[in-house]
Each structure stands twice: as structure tokens, then as C-alpha cells.
Amino acid sequence: SAANNYNGGCTGQREYKCCAARRDYGQNSWQASKTCDQYGCNRKKCYGYFDDDNYKRTYEKDDDDDGWSSPTNNKQTYQKDEDEDYEDYNGGSNYNKNSYNNKYQDNFVKDIVSKSSGGYRSSGINSDYEVYTKYGQRAGYNNDGWEGDGFWGPKLQQVREECAVMFHQDLLYLAKAIRLVFHDCMGNEDYGCDGCVDLTHPDNEGLDTIMHKLHNIVANNRKWFSRTDIWQICSLTALDISSSMYEQNAPHFKMTFIGRKDCPNADEIGDGGDKIDMYPKTINSQALVHHFYQYFGFDARCTTAVMGTHGMSMMHPWNSGQGDGPFPAKWSEGTSYILDNWYFKGFKKPWTYELRPNHEYPNIEPKKQWYWESGEEGFWNGDGFEQGKLIMLDSDMSLKYDFSDYQDQNGYIYCKASYEVYHHGPQPAQAVPMCPMAYDTYEIVEEYAYDNLKFLYDVEYCMLKMFNTGYRHGMDGNYKMYYGHGAYY
């Protein structure tokens, strides 16, 4: 870009001329774009630059090679966070979050909406991120979240309130809303979150209920937000609720992008779009990390963190073909709708491998799964102890074990996860070797098992990265824009 031709970047007189052109010709006019590109300011948007006297710049002659000094009377500056890995987590202690141990609290909705719209840094635009427009209002990226914005804040609060009411009626919809957005944002290298899920794909079985639930919220707020933006807002609200039930210092899940566009080939609830497999047909540690990198730009840590959301979910055999006999099953101990680190604690259990025949559901092929059976002592379900099985999938177990060298062409695994098990599928366990550890992710599993707050902050970072799939122009160079250069309305 032209910005690389100037030492010092978009500052001083160059910044002034760019912003003057945007003021005179319009923010997104070709005249302004040409002028800004000429002066190395092709990504400068100039919002607020000429709003009042506090934003006026004064320039002094100096001896550097461009002849101008930096502004001497800036009211605000926005700096790029140079941390390449994770955001500063110190802000977590500032969130005054209530614990929702009693799901019938009278102030449930009020507290969620208040928590979801405040308690963090003041809103601001990071000039290193692309900013788009919608209805003449500033939109696109806001790295501090749009909840504090004077225009978008009240509208986001209204959607969050409607989502919270829906979740209060049935807390199991918390996990469903998060699962929906995960499936929505899965795409190919050119796009991601687009408000469309193909319900004819077997991986999307069961999503129709949450899509129908969200339809009324979408209809009520469609004037301001796309369907996929509303799905995102409800998912962020679900993450806020589910994470703060156990951990009062949990992070706040912010809406950092407004302006995603819906795909054109879906019905009113969002049924349509491309057929996308949620996981590769043969799954192991290396394939899982590569898969999440390919679709979301995740590293091993983000892959592990997002997989941890399985801990607040339940699997239903009539949808997925996996469960405890004909009954639904959980991945982990603890309460189904609470996001915490019980999922990672469960990897220490002796898991047994089996091929589930699915006789009860003849339309579903046999499925591979791992189980731990509680016995008479039962397992903790958040309210008491119950007997039955906990279930893990190959994708889950691959976070701890690398069975890539112990799989046949159909993905069947020929190594065990514990010396304590009696059989491995139809084989006696003594005849099966132990699986080696997954060196990319095993230590992260151990870390999260001992540190719930670290897990939650990593989920915040990684889920927001997932939610911006397809709209990362200005965030990294690996993703293209789905709808051209920006999400214009």
C-alpha cells in the first residue's frame, strides 16, 4: 500500500489532508480514497476529526524528512495492542457479575442486560481496524465493543434483553445458541458467518429449534441488524450468562463488529447456504487443529478453548446418533448450561471406546464414541448425583491423545485411553496399545482443568475471533471479505 512509502505512517499534514478529503467528498467516496491513498492514509477513516475544537490539529515545522511534526493537540489516540497472542486480562476484575445459582431470580433479565451493556472501557475505534457504515452510522469494527456507543448501544441492549428472556424460559437454549453460531461461521476460505445453516446436513440436526426460537427476535430487530448479527448478539448473551453463573469474574463477551450480511439463498429462519462438514471425516489431534486453523485461523489454544464449550451441552441420539443408549448424554459432570472447566477435568477419567450400533434409530449409521460409566456412585450433575454414562467424541479425545497413527481408513481407532478399561470396541483392552499424548493440546487441557478463569478468558478471545470469520480485513491477511471490500448497507 501507499502507506508503506512514507516513514512515520499516516500522521501530521498527510493525516490532515486525508481527513479533509473525507470531510469534503464523503467518507467512502473515490475522491477521498484516492487522496488518502496518495498520502499513505488509505485505512484512515477520520471519524470525529473535525467535530469540535478539541479535535483540531496544530502542526509545527520540524526537521524530519516529511517536514511536519505530529499533532500537538490530539484529544484521543488509539494504539494497536502489540501483544500477538492474547489481550490483557486484567480488566476481568472490573466486571461486577452476579452468580445465577437460582435460575428463577426476579432480576435475571435486568442483570443480564445491565452486565451486557457496561462495566468495561469506554467505546472507541481502533484505527488499525476497518470501519464500515450502516444507515449512515458508524459500524463495522469496534475493538472495545459497540455496547457503549450512543447509537448502537440501546439497540444492542434491546436484542440482548429479548435473548435473555428466551434463555430464562429454557436455559438449555444457551448451549444451542452457541452451537448455532459455530455452525453458521463455519465456511470456506472466502467467507464465514452469514446467517445461513443448511438443515439437511446431518451435522446440523437439532438446530431448527433454536433457529425458530430466534426468528421472532430477528423479525423484531431486522431494521437495524442482519440475521447473522442477531444470532451473534444472542450467542454473546448466552456466553455472558453461562460463564457468570459459576465465575463472578468471568469476562464480558462484547459485540465487536456490526454489519455482517446474510447469505441470499436461505429462508426466513436461515435454513440454506452451503453444505459444510463441521469436522473432517477422519478426526485426530493433527486433523482437528488443522481444521480449526483452516476455517477460523485458530491455533492449538483456541481450538482447545472452543472445544471446551461442549461441557455445557448435551448430545441427543435422535440427532447425532450418540448418547447413553436411547437417552441424551452429557460430555462432562456439572450443570449442563453452565460454561466452566468441568469438561477438562473429565479427561482424567478412564474412557472406553465403543462403536454404537444405533438400533433405536435405524436412519442413523453406527457411530464411534468414548464413554465413562459412573456405576452406583453416580456423577455430579450440578444438583446431585445421577447414574449413567458421560460421552466424549473422537474430536474431544483428540485434545489429549494423538491417535493419528492408530486409525484405519474409516477412522476407527486402535489405541486405548486408559489401562483401567476392560475392552476397546469388540477387542479386549489388553490387546490394544495406549494412545500417545497430543503434544499440541494436552498441556492446554491440563492448564484449563486447574484454571477456570484462564479458560473463560481464552474462550472470550477465541469466540470473538470465530465470530468475525469472513470479516477480518484489517485483522489478519488470511481471510478475504465475503461481500467485497466491506459490509456496506
Q: Provide the residue-wise pLDDT of the chain in tens; the chain has 489 residues.
A: 333 333 346 777 778 888 887 777 677 666 677 677 777 776 666 766 665 333 333 223 333 333 222 222 222 322 333 333 333 333 333 323 333 223 222 332 332 233 333 332 223 333 333 455 677 788 888 888 999 999 999 999 999 999 999 999 999 999 999 999 999 998 655 568 889 999 999 889 999 999 999 999 999 999 999 999 999 999 999 999 999 988 889 999 999 989 888 888 899 999 998 777 788 778 899 999 998 888 888 899 999 999 999 999 999 999 889 998 888 999 999 888 999 999 999 999 999 999 998 888 888 888 999 999 987 777 877 767 778 899 999 999 999 999 999 999 888 999 999 999 988 888 888 889 999 999 999 999 999 999 999 999 999 999 988 988 877 653 333 333 332 233 322
Q: Tell me the sheet residues that pair with 133.
A: 138
Task: Report the C-alpha gap between 150 and 204 in whole angstroms.
Answer: 37
Q: How far is CA 297 from the centre of its chain?
A: 12
Q: State residue 277's pLDDT score.
A: 79
Long-range contacts of 76-81 (CB under 8 A, 24+ apart): 76/48, 76/124, 78/124, 78/125, 78/126, 78/127, 78/128, 80/126, 80/128
Task: Report the C-alpha gap between 90 and 154 in whole angstroms.
Answer: 27
Q: State residue 190's pLDDT score.
A: 57
Q: Quick count: other Cβ atoms within 10 Å of Cβ 454?
A: 16
Cβ burial of 340 (10 Å; 0-12, 13-18, 19+) is: buried
Task: Report the C-alpha gap between 435 and 418 in whole angstroms.
Answer: 9
Residues in the chain: 489
CA distances from residue 471 to 256, 417, 418, 481 in whole angstroms, order as listed:
11, 39, 43, 6
Q: State residue 186's pLDDT score.
A: 83
Grid cell listed for 90: 486484567
Task: Report the C-alpha gap between 475 and 146 in whole angstroms.
Answer: 17
Contact 332, 342 (CB under 8 A): yes
Handedness of CA 452, 454, 458, 460 (dihedral sign): positive
Contact 462, 300 (CB under 8 A): no
Q: How far is CA 320 from the centre of its chain?
A: 22
Q: State residue 279's pLDDT score.
A: 80
* Secondary structure of 49-117 in HEC code, one letter for each residue: CCCCHHHCCCCCCCCCCCCCCCCCCCCCCCCCCCCCCCCCHHHHHHCCCCCCCCCCCCCHHHHHHHHHC
Task: Report the C-alpha gap between 259 and 226 in whole angstroms.
Answer: 7
Q: Phi, psi at residue 364, to the nearest 5°?
A: -110, 130
